[in-house]
């Protein structure tokens, strides 16, 4: 589960940091402390604060994503498009998640919070513009996983929200990762071959076991 700094937690529950400080002193919402005496809050505290209403019924949320900060205009276009879609369908949106990061990155902050909220029963419906806005590869697996928690993903299939350049960049990232791994393996192999002790041990292992039997 995630832990949150006071500023992050304050934004999540819609209060000021000063209010959190006052609640901490009053014992209304006690902050945890790190070994260096820094305050933090847990995801369970967030769930408890939001109340049982959301836990029982679940929220309808919008999830949007772009790969880089240079695409913030595209991010807002996704938000507006999905809000219009929800209004046209008569869907009330409770929260909007705006994420910046590659679809190959499973450590996206907002995406991880979304998954955690789904697992905790806080969310019942997720609306996305395109499958790859949610995750670049393996969408079907995540769809089944969230469905097991009672969460439905609505994919609007707005092709404009899935720019080709992002796909190219993600593919380049994959090739780069594998290239680095291959280079690393080759380098490791050379290091082993250059180590006389290891090389001798490997040669001894590869020698066939020849057993000489002496007839008495």
List 16, 67, 148, 162, catalytic entry = 67
Radius of gyration of the chain (CA): 26
Distance CA(13)–CA(49), nearest Å, equals 8
Give the C-alpha distances (Å, rounded to integers) separating 173 from 105, 163, 178: 11, 16, 9
Question: 102 an active-site residue?
Answer: no
CB 82 within 8 Å of CB 156: yes
Q: What is the total residue count of the chain? A: 216
- Which value, to the nearest 10 degrees, does the dihedral of the CA atoms of residues 128, 149, 89, 137 take? 20
Which residues have a catalytic role annotated? 67
């Amino acid at each position: 589960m995630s832990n949150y700094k006071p500023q992050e937690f304050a934004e999540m529950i819609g209060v000021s940091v000063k209010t959190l400080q006052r609640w901490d002193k009053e014992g209304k919402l006690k902050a945890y402390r790190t070994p260096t005496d820094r305050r933090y809050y847990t995801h369970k505290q967030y769930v408890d604060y939001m109340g049982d209403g959301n836990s029982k019924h679940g929220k309808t949320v919008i999830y949007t994503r772009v790969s880089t900060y240079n695409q913030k205009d595209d991010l807002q276009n996704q938000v507006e498009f999905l809000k219009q879609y929800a209004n046209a369908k008569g869907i009330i949106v409770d929260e909007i998640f705006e994420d910046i990061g590659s679809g190959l990155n499973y450590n996206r902050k907002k995406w991880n919070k979304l998954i955690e909220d789904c697992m905790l029963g806080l969310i019942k419906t997720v609306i996305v513009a395109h499958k790859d806005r949610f995750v670049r590869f393996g969408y079907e697996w995540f769809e089944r996983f969230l469905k097991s928690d009672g969460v439905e993903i609505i994919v609007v299939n707005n092709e404009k929200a899935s720019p080709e350049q992002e796909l190219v960049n993600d593919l380049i990232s994959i090739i780069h990762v594998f290239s680095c791994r291959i280079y690393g393996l080759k380098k490791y192999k050379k290091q082993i071959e250059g180590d006389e002790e290891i090389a001798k041990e490997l040669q001894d292992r590869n020698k066939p076991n020849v057993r000489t039997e002496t007839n008495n």
